[in-house]
Amino acid sequence: MSIAIVALLAAQAAAAPAAVDYSKPAHWLCLPGRLDTCTLPLPTTDVTPAGYGFPGIAPVAKDPRVDCFVVYPTVSRDKGLNSDLVPGDGEEKALIASQFARFSGACRVFAPVYRSMTLGAITYAATGGDVTVPAMTAYGDVLNAFRTYMVRHNKGRPYVLIGHSQGSLMLQQLIANEIEGKPAARQMKLAILPGYNLLVPQGKRVGGTLKLTPVCSAPGETGCVMTWVSFREKNVPPAGAIFGIADKPGMTVACTNPGRPGATGWVPLDSYWNARSTLPVPGGPIVWSSEGRSPTAYVRTEGLASARCVNEGPRGYLSIRTNVDPGDKRTDRIGGEVGLAGMFIPGWGMHLADVSVAQGDLVRRVAELNDPARTGARQAR
């Protein structure tokens, strides 16, 4: 990146932006009661050991008692360090569809458009640039949107926070600054925050990034955080990795197995994948079944991938492997690595698969919260 471009980005970051009016529906990617990115059909085909199943459509829940407040990850290619408030079809809208729209089958989804840090901001930070100001701009929008949601839409309902990567970072800060120790904490039934390091003291569930909210440790537990960063089984987070290694003494990166919180062994996962993705994948494009191209844009693979949490000193991550038996028509490959200039970055692990690899498990977990007998039955302490 040239010195001139770096200077331009820094100048843009220094400008104090005006507050976003989240009372306007236009500043939400997803709002209940309308046709939008979270309620459009998602034709999906199961990929089984016997081949492709029959295509289906992801359902939308008619009257769920639980809300989901969603913050999407870094995806904007806008100029500058912060995105604008116009979501792109191949950027914010595409990420919402592939990672979060299925939650509409379990909860009312609220997804604000926010001035997220851009892909350019990542490059700027990698060259030593200070992204404190653009990070504050992004967080300010998320905080503003959450407060608007609580005042205008929540009406005392239980809610779940869901994010990924930058979105998880924003929600970590929201919990720490706006929720912990306040009335809003009683309504927060779950936080699903993969793709960004959440630190805890080694051997503990709470006390690092978050002071009062523990990491989930059992199925059905509420009032806790599910968090993980994904790495392929034979790719341990290397020294200097951006994810998977705690940068503070005595800490580790927390890990919850999304297939079964608290599990220590391998757990099969219920995964959803974008079969039309053009992102680079180790080994080349994936053909999901030996029967050929998927008939739909999305596929579901139940049990193709398994995961287990690993915590070894400062290292903490979700180890991912695939399972294919002889004669299985499914692929033995899944993607997730971050490609740059023809290479894959080891320190990012399978960052792009953090949500997809367990999306079915996560949607079911949120759906369980609609049962009053389950909600709060195993409150975290």
pLDDT tens figures, 64-79: 999 999 999 999 999 9
Mean pLDDT value across the chain: 93
Q: Is the pLDDT of residue 3 over 80?
A: no
**pLDDT confidence band for 340 (50 / 70 / 90):** confident
- What the block records as the tokens of 332 is 């033995």
pLDDT tens figures, 210-224: 999 999 999 999 999
Residue 141: how many CA atoms within 13 Å on its side-chain side?
Answer: 26
Q: Is the pLDDT of residue 15 over 70?
A: no
* Polymer length of the chain: 381
CB 246 within 8 A of CB 314: yes
To the nearest 10°, the Cα dihedral for 293, 299, 302, 303? 50
pLDDT tens figures, 241-279: 999 999 999 999 999 999 999 999 999 999 999 999 999
Average pLDDT over residues 329-358: 93
Average pLDDT over residues 59-66: 94
**pLDDT confidence band for 5 (50 / 70 / 90):** very low
What integer pLDDT is reported at residue 262 of this predicted model? 96
Q: Which of 57-66, 95-104, 209-218 has the lowest mean pLDDT?
A: 57-66
* pTM over the 0.75 mark: yes
CB 46 within 8 A of CB 52: yes
Strand ranges (E), 127-197: 159-163, 188-192
**pLDDT confidence band for 13 (50 / 70 / 90):** very low
What whole-number distance in Å separates Cα of residue 118 and Cα of residue 128? 16
